[in-house]
């Protein structure tokens, strides 16, 4: 199972790299911009429940996965928006000289959440690419079956992404409800 997961991740590597570049480029620009513009945020005591966090993260995950039905770029556009939001949020913490809160409250779950979101967008693009490039235009039954197997094989990556999502939501809940 782990060997198959690693093989599937290898097939997704270019999609993951492109999506990561998009996400982190926007993230860094927004961190810099929100620090430069001195954007501040009022910190809320409203602590979300685990169910709220999981539903929010799951909806973003599904939007990234199925957003690729829009010519294969919908997931990248959603990652761009997500990077914008996360970048501004992180920039606010940095601009408020609140690095401790950034390190303690965001980074423990943020890394897992970002990996989960990159997985969803990349699998969605991979499936769109296989369907658009191969299955839709392929005439031979043998190649269609091969492409279907590749698509079905990519679902193990989705299970891995969902596992990361559930784990990041749990860590986020525990971090915010700790004090």
Would you say residue 93 has pLDDT above 80? no
* Per-residue pLDDT at 6: 60
Give the pLDDT confidence of 9-31 residue by residue, as tens digits.
677 778 888 888 888 888 888 87
136 neighbors 127 (Cβ within 8 angstroms): no
- What is the C-alpha separation between 124 and 170, in angstroms, rounded? 24
- 38, exposed or middle or buried, with CB in 10 Å at 0-12, 13-18, 19+? exposed
Check pLDDT > 80 for residue 132.
no
Residue 3: per-residue pLDDT: 65
Q: And the tokens for 175?
A: 């971090």
User: Among residues of the chain, what percentage have pLDDT more than 90?
Assistant: 1
For residues 18 and 151, the model is more confident at 18
48-89, pLDDT tens digit by residue?
Answer: 788 888 888 888 888 888 877 777 778 888 888 888 888 887
| pLDDT for res 46 | 65
Asked whether the predicted pLDDT for residue 143 surpasses 70, the reply is: no
Residue 35: exposed, middle, or buried by beta-carbon count in 10 A (0-12, 13-18, 19+)? middle
Tell which residue, 94, 87, 92, has the closest CA to residue 110. 87
DSSP string, 97-119: T-HHHIIIIIHHHHHHHHHHHHH
- 171 CB-contact burial (10 Å; exposed 0-12 / middle 13-18 / buried 19+): middle
Instruction: Mention every residue, 6+ apart, whose C-beta is less than 8 A from residue 167.
Output: 112
């Amino acid at each position: 199972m782990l060997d198959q997961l690693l093989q599937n991740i290898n097939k997704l590597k270019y999609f993951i790299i492109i999506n990561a570049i998009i996400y982190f480029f926007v993230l860094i620009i927004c961190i810099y911009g929100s620090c430069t513009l001195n954007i501040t945020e009022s910190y809320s005591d409203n602590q979300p429940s685990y169910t709220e966090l999981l539903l929010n993260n799951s909806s973003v995950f599904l939007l990234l996965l199925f957003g690729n039905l829009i010519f294969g770029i919908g997931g990248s556009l959603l990652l761009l928006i997500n990077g914008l939001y996360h970048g501004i949020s992180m920039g606010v913490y940095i601009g408020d000289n609140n690095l401790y809160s950034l390190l303690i409250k965001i980074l423990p779950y943020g890394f897992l959440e970002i990996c989960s979101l990159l997985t969803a967008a990349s699998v969605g693009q991979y499936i769109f690419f296989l369907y658009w490039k191969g299955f839709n235009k392929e005439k031979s039954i043998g190649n269609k079956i091969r492409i279907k197997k590749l698509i079905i094989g990519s679902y193990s990556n989705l299970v891995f992404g969902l596992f990361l999502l559930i784990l990041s939501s749990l860590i986020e809940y525990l971090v915010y409800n700790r004090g």
